[in-house]
């Protein structure tokens, strides 16, 4: 199971929100590159970089942060937040993203998202399936859609989707543990999906459980910043797996 720390960006700074609420913003570091270099120094290879300004503006904003981290570290970065057009994707990939995540667009403009899958390849496009009560949530979680989580993903699997990041909004940033039951259900009902668990990770002990369930990766955010999980623990986890 891949360990994928998250860096969320507002105004070029590392922040975390709770349940996606911008009013709960907490700044953890003014310099995202410093954080990224710490991850790299502990053997971490992957990074989930979220452009929260972009999510609000509905177009890419913090691509310079992406470019800086991509050129000054060897981290493999998946980038998301407000990507809506082919031009946004061009900028993201040219700035160093290895993969991009599309969430709201997959609900609101499915034809655009399907076109990305065929144009850029399914290995570069991650479906962001954020859920609230097993309903897909969109627009930085400000809206709940009528789409049921599992059928929604199934439909996109038919279009070639391989990677899915699923965040249970009720858990995100709350440090109360991830949605084990939801992920187990998804992995049972969605064969061959590469499921990346996100939201609520709060202790190191949860990581082996997610790996046992069959999650392909897990995104860890606030638990690292709040020292609930140490980078040394993550380093050991990665070394033991290799």
Could you report how far apart the first and last alpha carbons of the chain are, in Å?
A: 10
**149 vs 202: CA distance, rounded Å:** 24
In Å, how far are 3, 65, 214 from 199, measured between CA atoms?
Answer: 13, 23, 17
* Pairing mode of beta strands 131-132, 125-128: unpaired
Please say if 8 is a catalytic residue. Answer: yes
Please say if 236 is a catalytic residue. Answer: no
Under 8 Å CB-to-CB from 137, ≥6 apart: which residues?
130, 131, 143, 144, 145, 169
In Å, how far are 13, 141, 198, 200 from 170, measured between CA atoms?
Answer: 24, 10, 11, 8
What superfamily does domain 2-241 belong to in CATH? Answer: Aldolase class I (3.20.20.70)
* Pairing mode of beta strands 21-29, 13-18: antiparallel
* Pairing mode of beta strands 194-198, 163-167: parallel
Which candidate in 8, 88, 168, 172 is catalytic? 8
pLDDT of residue 133: 86
The DSSP 8-state label assigned to residue 5 in this structure reads E
Under 8 Å CB-to-CB from 227, ≥6 apart: which residues?
none
Under 8 Å CB-to-CB from 80, ≥6 apart: which residues?
48, 49, 50, 51, 55, 100, 101, 102, 103, 126, 128
Q: In which residue are the tokens 């270099």 written? A: 37
CA Rg value for the chain: 16
Which candidate in 78, 88, 130, 172 is catalytic? 130
Nearest Cα to 83, choosing from 43, 56, 45? Answer: 56
pLDDT of residue 175: 77
**242 vs 201: CA distance, rounded Å:** 22
In Å, how far are 5, 127, 198 from 48, measured between CA atoms?
Answer: 6, 13, 10
pLDDT of residue 65: 98
pLDDT of residue 113: 98
pLDDT of residue 168: 86
pLDDT of residue 139: 61
Q: In which residue are the tokens 């990677």 written? A: 163
pLDDT of residue 28: 92
pLDDT of residue 127: 98
**65 vs 119: CA distance, rounded Å:** 25
**pLDDT tens for the 242 residues of the chain, in order:** 999 999 999 999 999 888 778 899 999 999 999 999 999 999 999 999 999 999 889 999 999 999 999 999 999 999 999 999 999 999 999 999 999 999 989 999 999 999 999 999 999 999 999 898 898 987 655 566 789 999 999 999 999 999 999 988 877 767 789 999 999 999 999 999 999 999 899 999 999 999 999 999 999 999 999 999 999 999 999 999 76
């Amino acid at each position: 199971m891949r360990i994928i720390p998250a860096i969320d960006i507002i105004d070029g700074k590392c922040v975390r929100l709770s349940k996606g609420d911008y009013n709960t913003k907490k700044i953890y570091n003014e310099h995202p590159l410093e954080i990224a270099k710490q991850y790299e120094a502990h053997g971490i290879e992957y990074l989930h970089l979220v452009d929260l300004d972009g999510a609000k503006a509905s177009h890419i904003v913090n691509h310079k942060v992406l470019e800086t981290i991509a050129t000054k570290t060897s981290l493999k970065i998946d980038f998301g937040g407000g990507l809506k057009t082919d031009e946004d994707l061009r900028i993201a990939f040219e700035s160093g993203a290895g993969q991009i995540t599309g969430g709201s667009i997959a609900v609101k403009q499915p034809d655009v998202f399907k076109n990305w899958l065929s144009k850029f390849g399914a290995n570069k496009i991650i479906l962001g399936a954020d859920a609230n009560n097993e309903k897909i949530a969109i627009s930085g979680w400000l809206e709940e859609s009528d789409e049921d989580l599992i059928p929604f993903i199934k439909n996109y699997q038919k279009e070639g989707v391989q990677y899915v990041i699923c965040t249970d909004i009720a858990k995100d940033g709350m440090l109360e543990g991830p949605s084990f039951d939801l992920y187990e259900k998804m992995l049972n009902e969605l064969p061959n999906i590469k499921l990346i668990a996100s939201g609520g990770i709060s202790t190191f002990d949860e990581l082996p459980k997610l790996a046992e369930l069959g999650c392909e990766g897990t995104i860890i955010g606030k638990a690292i910043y709040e020292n609930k999980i140490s980078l040394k623990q993550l380093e050991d986890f990665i070394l033991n797996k290799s």
